[in-house]
Amino acid sequence: MANEIEKKNVGTDTPDEISDVKESADSKEKKSKDKDAKDKSKKASAKKPKKGIVKYFKDCKAEFKKVVWPTPKETTHNTIVVIVVCLLAGLFVFGIDSLFALINSLILRG
């Protein structure tokens, strides 16, 4: 029965179906034009690397001017803080390790 319905509809495209086909063909053509335009823009930007490199270094220079560099006193203070925190963390890990070693030796002896 499904075959009979398909046979009856063969070759009887409605105007809406025809316009849908035309629209899809137009959209495919538009996509290919968009792709060509993107390829051309990539080629154009590839031909002008000097402007991009110069702009990059100018931007880098501007960013370095914005940086607030620490004073020698602040650098010394921060260095001391880092060393103290590292020593405290090392002592903490040493203590935990020693505790687990003690517990392990008590379990194995017992």
What percent of the chain has a predicted confidence (pLDDT) above 90?
49
Domain count, the chain: 2
**Which one is predicted more confidently, 88 or 23?**
88
Q: Is residue 27 domain-shared with residue 63, that is, in the same domain?
A: yes
pLDDT score recorded for residue 49: 60
Long-range contacts, stretch 83-86, CB < 8 angstroms, 24+ apart: none
More confident residue, 92 or 50: 92
Do the domain assignments include residue 61?
A: yes
For residue range 51-76, list pLDDT tens digits in order.
Answer: 889 999 999 999 999 999 999 999 99
The residue range of the domain holding 29 is 17-67
Asked, for residue 98, whether it belongs to a domain, the answer is yes
Residue 38 falls inside a structural domain: yes
Considering the domain architecture, whether residues 77 and 54 belong to the same structural domain is answered as no
pLDDT of residue 109: 87
pTM of the model: 0.44
9: in domain: no
Interior angle at CA 70, CA 67 and CA 71, nearest 5:
135
26 and 54 assigned to the same domain: yes
